[in-house]
Amino acid sequence: MKKAVFLVRLWIWFSLRQLRSQYWRTLTVLLGIALGAAVFTSVRLAVNASVDSFANSMDTLAGKADWTVVTPGARVPEGLVAALQKHPAVETASPLLSTYVRPAGNGGEPFLLIGLDPISDRDMRQWSSTGTSERGSSWLTLMRTPYTLLPGEKLSERWHKAPGDSITLEHAHRTVDFQVTDILEPEGLALAEGGGIALTDIATFQEFTGLHGWVDRIDLRLKASAQNDAARSIAAMLPEGTVLEKPSEARESGKLMVRSYRLNLSVLSFVSLFVGMFLIFSLVSLHVTSRRHEMAVLRSLGASSRLLFFLFLLEGAFFGVVGWVAAIPLSSFLVRRLVEQVSATVSHLFVRVQVDQLPLDPLEAASSFALTLFVSLLAAIQPAIEARKVHPREVFLRHASRENGSPAPYCLALLGALLILTVWPLVRLPAIHGVPLSGYLATFLLFCGFSLLSPWCLHLLGSHLPPLLQHVGGQPAYLGGRYIRDSGARMALSVGALITAVGLFVALVIMIHSFRGTVELWVEQSISGDLFLRPKMSEINRYRDPLPPQTVQLLQDLQESVEIVPYRRIFLTYEKVPYQFEALDLSRLRHHASLLFLQGHPENIFRELEARDGILISEVFANQTGLGVGDHFTAQIEGTKLDLPVLAIFRDYRTQGGTVHYPLERFTKKSGDTSWSGARLFLKHPGEDLEAAALALKNEILTRSGDQAQALEVTTGRDLRRIILRIFDETFSITSVLLLIALLAATLGITTTLATFILERSRQLHTLLAVGASRTQVRTMIIWEAVLMVITGEGIGLCCGFFLSYLLIFVINRQSFGWTFIYSVDWTALWISLPLILGTALFAALPASQLVFQRPASQVLRE
């Protein structure tokens, strides 16, 4: 304890005062690490908020249920409620229906309408209304009066509706005036979906949605005395296709989908922290170098080498702790901006979330603190070990000198090459529980490996370039080149920050470009169609409401002029992997569109599909389930058992999991389900202006649908494709933000690195002045050094980025999301941005070059 107190005291005397006197440098590094910590923390918090809000919604919806009865891909007959209720082990059987509906009129935001039996539900879920402290009259009113509802506080505020007011709601099939009975207290069930829910009686729900006779699920609470085999005996009484599930299953499968996204963002945000680590390293090692003599004095006065080690480790810890504290306001600023974007992305890609609060998770805060501290200590450990090596006899050396102990550049380069080579076997390892750990490790090794290549590259540049440089930039350029040659291993880690940031930048530019290119191609070929038609809110209601029969009839009447490609889409899970089963009229579709098959010619595949019974699966589904061509796929859909071979794998970028395609006519025959989830329309005679023709068709359908029109969502193909690409771009905007911050931190790194080198050599630089160099010449030399450094960093970063882009596309994306893309490089973006980064980095070098002449030459030289 006494020792620790003394250590801190000595650290304050020795290190903190130094940091304080050079506050610009200290602040820069602190800013860098704070940015890193803030990005990391706020991204984690934002993603967690989304995941938590989803999990909470699922939990409050599940209530106190022990089991849930569902029919995958379909609904449960309501008659089961009474049968289950009479089972001796069942305490309560409570039916539940839910769907997204929205207030009529433009801009009405969809919300979750929940239909339940207020009486059976009282044992299952907690909710009450504000007007009555007991559930009292409001639930009775729900039961007594058709089309009454209890909105959550948030909804009533959004709608400006008080009890007694009426609101018009539209669902896929109907539009009805509802009366607000009362407002829900913000507790329990009312907090699901971030408070954006409304309750109604199950009778009203069925009458509104036309789901007479059906419920989405039946939640069961068992008696405390229920035997262990109760679940089995309950399951035995269920009709075929209806199953007993743990209520947590839906939540877990949702969380599973978000997990990869969460991890990817975490890793991406960690890069900023990683870049911050370079900054700490660079400053601490500057101190170790420039204060070597002082350390020798300490040693001569009786300080142990361990003491020096801890002194510098403490410096790292200081940056970690203070950086993290400084990150708090930054995080709270960032997280507010991120949370909306993240939750939008999570909603687009995986599960619908409504974030209404940002819980401050102490565990998350503690872990971000621990990580920041760890990274900072890690950054300080190498310089601290260097400090440990200071020998007391160095006290007799008049000036600080660097021991020539660092390994030769080619040794580092060999090590770097070795690390890069390790990536090769590493990426062939499978993901662990869906987490591409080896992919992330490979990424880390790439960054380290390429950073280690830099001294050798600098040495090469410095050895061969100076004559040329002299020609271009005169003596200063020549000297700058020479200095770069001899700068040694430390440069590797300092340039490392830049390599990491540029590498990441290049890789993401390539990945996003490839991704977008592939998605565009996919949209063009697979999402073809002149008009798309489906019930309103199909997407958020997971296509559970088919097209009304009148609409189907109307479409069939149009067949003269329009080719109709109907489909039936059902959301299911295969061994806990969520996917969409889509039965569609492939034989008609292939005349107009194609699928992007991973292997094989489309013509042959379609021919095979006509000849034999089988399915086509998406790349995502294949990667998530391990199914390949020739394997057998089994599923229970709407009570129909399917056991079919996989005929081919196609690329698919629709969100919310993998896809299975099956010919519609075969599905209809097997299941007897003739309903359509939606249809694509192709104009047989589009004429010259396709868009105008499509719009005309849209208007015709809407006009002829009459009352049904308001239940339909009719989108022209061009609009739909534009929407898909817009969602795509929104999804990646967060990536761009993270990337910019990493680049910013790297730029700060360049400033500190250069400052380090300049201060280290101030004697040498002043000697140059003394022997006749002009200040401009010295500054020019420094700029040249910066140019060489930044070019090397960018060059190596570029190489690193190409490697990394492969890794991202073919390993990490495949293991995380199950898809890969057609590789293509966005040269234009690179050509524009790389010089821009160079310019920015050089701009960042300017303040450093001003440092040289801060102190009078005579003073520097006399020391």
Partner 1 sequence: MASIFRVQVYLTDKASRRLPLLLCFLAAMVMLMPCSSRAETSYRSVAGPCHLEFPRDHGPHPGYATEWWYYTGNVKSGSGSPFGFQLTFFRHQFVPPGDETGWPKLPSAWRTPQIYIAHLALSDIMEGTYRHVEQMARGAVGLADATSDLEKTSVFVKDWSLEIRHEDSIHHLTAVAEDFGMNLILSQEKPPVLHGQNGYSLKGKAADSASCYYSLTRMSVHGDLVVRGQSIPVQGSAWMDHEFSTAPLESDLLGWDWFSLQFSDRTELMIYLLRQKDGGMSPASSGTFVDASGTTTALVFQDIAVEALDHWQSPHSGGSYPVRWAIKIIPLKMELTIAAQLKDQEMNTPGTTRITYWEGSVSVKGNGKDGKPVTGEGYVELTGYDKPLNLP
Partner 2 sequence: MNEVFSSPIIKARQLTRIYRLGQVEIAAVDHIDLDILPGQMVVLKGNSGSGKSTLLSLLGGLDQPTEGELHVAGRDLRKASPAEITHYRRSSVGIIFQSFNLLPTLTVLENTCLPALLAGKPSPQVKARALDLLDWLKLTARLQHPPSHLSGGEMQRTAIARALINDPAIILADEPTGNLDSRNGEIVMELLWELNNKLGRTVIIATHSTLADRYAGLSLFLKDGVIAEYS
Residues that bind partner 2 (CB under 8 A): 2-3, 6, 9-10, 13-15, 17-18, 21, 293-294, 297-305, 307, 391-393, 395-396, 398
Rounded distance, CA 737 to CA 347, Å? 19
Q: Of the candidates 117, 121, 394, 530, which one interacts with partner 1 according to CB under 8 A?
A: 117
Q: Which does 136 bind (CB under 5 to 8 A by kind): partner 2, partner 1, none?
A: partner 1
Distance in Å, CB of 87 to partner 1, minimum: 8
Q: How many CA atoms lie within 13 A of 378 on its CB side?
A: 13
Q: Which helix (H) or strand (E) holds 210?
A: none
The reply to whether 120 sits near partner 1 by the rule CB under 8 A is: yes
Give just the sign of the alpha carbon dihedral 851, 853, 856, 861.
positive
Rama region for 819: left / alpha / beta (φ>0; ψ in -120 to 50; rest): beta
The reply to whether 330 sits near partner 1 by the rule CB under 8 A is: no
The reply to whether 21 sits near partner 1 by the rule CB under 8 A is: no
Give DSSP secondary structure letters for 839-855.
HHHHHHHHHHHHGGGSS
Q: Which does 612 bind (CB under 5 to 8 A by kind): partner 2, partner 1, none?
A: none
Rounded distance, CA 662 to CA 642, Å? 11
Q: Which does 539 bind (CB under 5 to 8 A by kind): partner 1, partner 2, none?
A: none
The reply to whether 212 sits near partner 1 by the rule CB under 8 A is: yes
Taking CB under 8 A as the criterion, which residues in 171-190 touch partner 1?
A: none
Q: Of the candidates 21, 106, 133, 776, which one interacts with partner 1 according to CB under 8 A?
A: 133
Nearer to partner 2, 291 or 544 (CB): 291
Distance in Å, CB of 164 to partner 1, minimum: 13
Residues touching partner 1, count (CB under 8 A): 36
What token pair was written down for 709? 């029109």
Sequence-separated (6 or more) residues with CB below 8 Å from residue 678: 532, 533, 534, 535, 538, 543, 547, 566, 567, 569
Q: Of the candidates 7, 27, 104, 140, which one interacts with partner 1 according to CB under 8 A?
A: 140
Nearer to partner 2, 74 or 303 (CB): 303
Q: Which does 122 bind (CB under 5 to 8 A by kind): partner 1, partner 2, none?
A: partner 1
State the greatest distance between any 2 C-alpha atoms of the chain, in Å, as a whole number: 102
Rounded distance, CA 850 to CA 698, Å? 67
Looking at 761-774, list the stretches that DSSP marks H as alpha helix, in order from N- to C-terminal side. Answer: 762-770
Among 454, 481, 486, 476, smallest CA distance to 466 is for 481
The reply to whether 82 sits near partner 1 by the rule CB under 8 A is: yes
Rounded distance, CA 573 to CA 591, Å? 31
Among 729, 743, 677, 802, smallest CA distance to 345 is for 729
CB-based burial label for 28 (10 Å; 0-12, 13-18, 19+): buried
Q: Which does 2 bind (CB under 5 to 8 A by kind): partner 2, partner 1, none?
A: partner 2
Q: Which does 206 bind (CB under 5 to 8 A by kind): partner 1, partner 2, none?
A: partner 1
What token pair was written down for 521? 């191609």
The reply to whether 224 sits near partner 1 by the rule CB under 8 A is: yes
The reply to whether 86 sits near partner 1 by the rule CB under 8 A is: yes
Distance in Å, CB of 138 to partner 1, minimum: 8
Distance in Å, CB of 290 to partner 2, minimum: 11
Distance in Å, CB of 215 to partner 1, minimum: 9
Distance in Å, CB of 219 to partner 1, minimum: 15
Q: Which does 83 bind (CB under 5 to 8 A by kind): partner 1, partner 2, none?
A: partner 1
Distance in Å, CB of 239 to partner 1, minimum: 16
Nearer to partner 2, 318 or 817 (CB): 318
Q: Which does 144 bind (CB under 5 to 8 A by kind): partner 1, partner 2, none?
A: partner 1
CB-based burial label for 516 (10 Å; 0-12, 13-18, 19+): middle
For 593-696, where are the E strands, in sequence order? Answer: 596-597, 615-618, 632-637, 640-651, 658-663, 678-683
The reply to whether 91 sits near partner 1 by the rule CB under 8 A is: yes
What token pair was written down for 67? 């089991």
The reply to whether 81 sits near partner 1 by the rule CB under 8 A is: yes
- Counting every residue written for the chain, the total comes to 863
CB-based burial label for 560 (10 Å; 0-12, 13-18, 19+): exposed
Distance in Å, CB of 863 to partner 2, minimum: 9
Rounded distance, CA 270 to CA 264, Å? 10
Q: Which does 88 bind (CB under 5 to 8 A by kind): partner 1, partner 2, none?
A: partner 1
- Indicate the SS3 state at residue 390: coil
The reply to whether 228 sits near partner 1 by the rule CB under 8 A is: no
Q: Of the candidates 42, 68, 206, 454, which one interacts with partner 1 according to CB under 8 A?
A: 206
Nearer to partner 1, 89 or 411 (CB): 89
Nearer to partner 1, 214 or 732 (CB): 214
Distance in Å, CB of 316 to partner 2, minimum: 18
Q: Of the candidates 18, 22, 126, 137, which one interacts with partner 1 according to CB under 8 A?
A: 137
Sequence-separated (6 or more) residues with CB below 8 Å from residue 539: none
Nearer to partner 1, 136 or 430 (CB): 136
Q: Which stretch binds partner 1 (CB under 8 A): 102-110, 135-143, 271-279, 569-577?
A: 135-143
Distance in Å, CB of 97 to partner 1, minimum: 10
Q: Pattern of binders to partner 1 over 143-172, x per CB under 8 A?
A: xxxx--------------------------
| Residue 673 near residue 632 (C-beta atoms within 8 A) | no
The reply to whether 201 sits near partner 1 by the rule CB under 8 A is: yes
Residue 86: CB atoms within 10 Å: 10
CB-based burial label for 710 (10 Å; 0-12, 13-18, 19+): middle
What token pair was written down for 26? 């200290």
Q: Which does 670 bind (CB under 5 to 8 A by kind): partner 2, partner 1, none?
A: none
Sequence-separated (6 or more) residues with CB below 8 Å from residue 359: 48, 49, 52
Nearer to partner 2, 6 or 831 (CB): 6
Q: Which does 82 bind (CB under 5 to 8 A by kind): partner 2, partner 1, none?
A: partner 1
Nearer to partner 1, 22 or 85 (CB): 85
Sequence-separated (6 or more) residues with CB below 8 Å from residue 467: 478
Q: Which does 645 bind (CB under 5 to 8 A by kind): partner 1, partner 2, none?
A: none
CB-based burial label for 456 (10 Å; 0-12, 13-18, 19+): buried
The reply to whether 202 sits near partner 1 by the rule CB under 8 A is: yes
Distance in Å, CB of 281 to partner 2, minimum: 22
Q: Of the candidates 134, 575, 643, 688, which one interacts with partner 1 according to CB under 8 A?
A: 134
The reply to whether 665 sits near partner 1 by the rule CB under 8 A is: no
The reply to whether 599 sits near partner 1 by the rule CB under 8 A is: no
What token pair was written down for 102? 């929205």
The reply to whether 216 sits near partner 1 by the rule CB under 8 A is: no
The b/e string for 838-854 (b: 16+ C-beta within 10 A; e otherwise) is bebbbebbeebbebbbe
Bridge-based pairing state of the strands 214-215 and 76-77: antiparallel
Nearer to partner 1, 119 or 836 (CB): 119
The reply to whether 237 sits near partner 1 by the rule CB under 8 A is: no
Nearer to partner 2, 2 or 433 (CB): 2
Footprint on this chain of partner 1 (rule: CB under 8 A): 78-79, 81-83, 85-86, 88, 91, 117, 119-120, 122, 131-134, 136-137, 140, 143-146, 201-207, 212-213, 223-225
